[in-house]
Amino acid sequence: MFINFWYPVIRSQDLGATPQRVRILAHDFVVFRDAAGKPAVLSDTCVHRGGSLSGGKCKEDGTVQCPYHGWRFDRDGHCTRIPSLGIQARIPSRARVDAYPVEERYGIVHAFLGDLPEAERPPIMPIFEANDPNWRSHVISFEVPFHYERSIENGLDPAHNEYVHTTHGFQGERESEYKVNELVPEQNNPWGYGFMHTYDAPPLTKSVLRFSRRKAGKMQAGSGTYGPNQMWTYIHITETKAMHQYLFEAPIDETTTRVFLVSFRNIVFFKSGLRAKLNPWLDRKITERNLFVAGQDITVVSRVQPKLTPSSKARELMMPADKVISQYREKLDEFERKGWRIDMTRLKQDMARGDVIYAIPSPGRRESKSWVLESVPLLPASGPGSASETGKVTQLASV
């Protein structure tokens, strides 16, 4: 797991006047709306006696109040009130918690969990259809019982569709005709890689989208990444009808991931005069279909061994169809060399002692070094050719 990327925190529609606790990167955060209705994300641990801020309440001055001793913190993490000192008391400079940059976009509250200055931060994945009236979107959120890297890699895997998804392939029953075609590079960027490819698809006779394709035929689909936890998937059902899906994933810990799926479509039913609104009543049916497909993935990926990506790439025999998965792993290695990967071994050892709590570092830590909670331990940064890079090159098996 990595710091210095944007992570989805909560759906906008699920955040009201009550502070909520969210776990990401094996750390707890409090998310709330201030007096102006703007979302704020702070480290959940009060620096006084360790109270959980998310168990408190939002106050009329836009702060969140700790339920233990009433300390108040504003959206920037500064303590504004310590009741035990009296109303006119001077607040110590160390009375603050980490506060994270926040953006509310695509129906999701995103937080930048890291300490990079704004000009150096990786982007939130762009959605080019977001302001296009010819596309309609809705957002769902669900948990999967596996590591987020396994989840992302599943989405980058064109070969699994034939066997896992009944609406995507022929369940391996046409072996003499089946193969993964050429992966065409698509939307490669400084933070990830993508591809499109053409495959044979069955008719959608039992799908809510059956009106889009009633016969078997060629379809185009593909996926790509922005950073370690953001992925797009394009499904071009016909030349004019498509679904574009954007996944923003929040690693809860090493065994559980919360997925935020923003699903766009330009598909309509031609009835009831609803074309202009792209049939909003279809959202429920599309959601049911998306969760059905996700359930097929969950069944398979939850049983993948090992649970985490192998530390040695020689422990999996990669094929040409796995090219973008290999590129994704190479990007993760690049992020690790920057010193952004959390040292999970040390973190788990320290947390097991029960007498220490860490915080994901925020940009404020670059302005001052005086903090109550220590920053989460990270693996050391390394350069190309260093000892830690030995054996990192991915090789695809020749066929």
Question: How does pLDDT run across 66-112, given as a tens digit for each residue?
Answer: 999 999 999 999 999 999 999 889 999 999 999 999 999 999 999 99
pLDDT at 94: 95
| Max CA pair span of the chain | 81
User: Encoding tokens for residue 47?
Assistant: 């620096």
Inform me whether the pLDDT recorded for 216 exceeds 90: no
pLDDT at site 384: 58
- Identify any residues that bridge with 243 across adjacent strands, giving them in sequence order: 235, 265
Q: How many CB atoms lie within 10 A of CB 266?
A: 15
CATH code of the domain occupying 5-120: 2.102.10.10
What Cα–Cα distance (Å) separates residue 94 from each residue in 32, 78, 335, 368? 22, 9, 31, 10
Query: In the β-sheet with 217-226, what is the strand arrangement from edge to edge?
Result: 136-144, 257-265, 242-251, 230-236, 217-226, 194-201, 184-185
| DSSP-derived 3-state class of residue 326 | helix
Say if residue 214's pLDDT is above 80. Answer: no
Q: What is the pLDDT of residues 301-341, one digit of tens each?
A: 999 999 999 988 889 999 999 999 999 999 999 999 999 99
State how far Cα 83 lies from the chain centre: 38
Could you tell me the residue ranges of all domains in the chain?
Answer: 5-120, 136-327
User: Is 234 in a helix, a strand, or coil?
Assistant: strand
Alpha helices in the chain (DSSP H): 148-155, 161-164, 283-301, 323-337, 344-353
Point out which residues pair with 247 in neighbouring strands.
Answer: 231, 261
Higher-confidence position of 118 and 276: 118
| pLDDT tier at 282, thresholds 50, 70, 90 | confident
Of 127, 116, 101, 394, nearest in space to 265 by CA: 127
Q: What distance in Å separates the CA atoms of residue 149 and residue 146, rounded to the nearest whole number?
A: 9
Helix (H, G, I), strand (E, B) or coil at 136: strand
What are the residues whose beta carbons fall under 8 Å from the beta carbon of 193, sequence distance 6 or more?
185, 224, 225, 324, 327, 328, 331
List, as own/partner pairs, every contact residues 308-317 make where C-beta atoms lie below 8 angstroms and the sequence separation is at least 24, other chains included.
308/147, 308/149, 308/150, 308/254, 309/147, 309/149, 309/150, 309/153, 312/391, 313/391, 313/392, 313/393, 313/394, 313/395, 314/391, 317/397
Residue from 146, 68, 80, 125 nearest 303 by CA: 146
State how far the Cα of 42 lies from the Cα of 49, in Å rounded to an integer: 16
Q: Which stretches of 103-231 are DSSP H helices?
A: 148-155, 161-164
Q: Which of these CATH numbers, 3.30.930.10, 3.90.380.10, 3.40.605.10, 4.10.140.10, describes 136-327?
A: 3.90.380.10
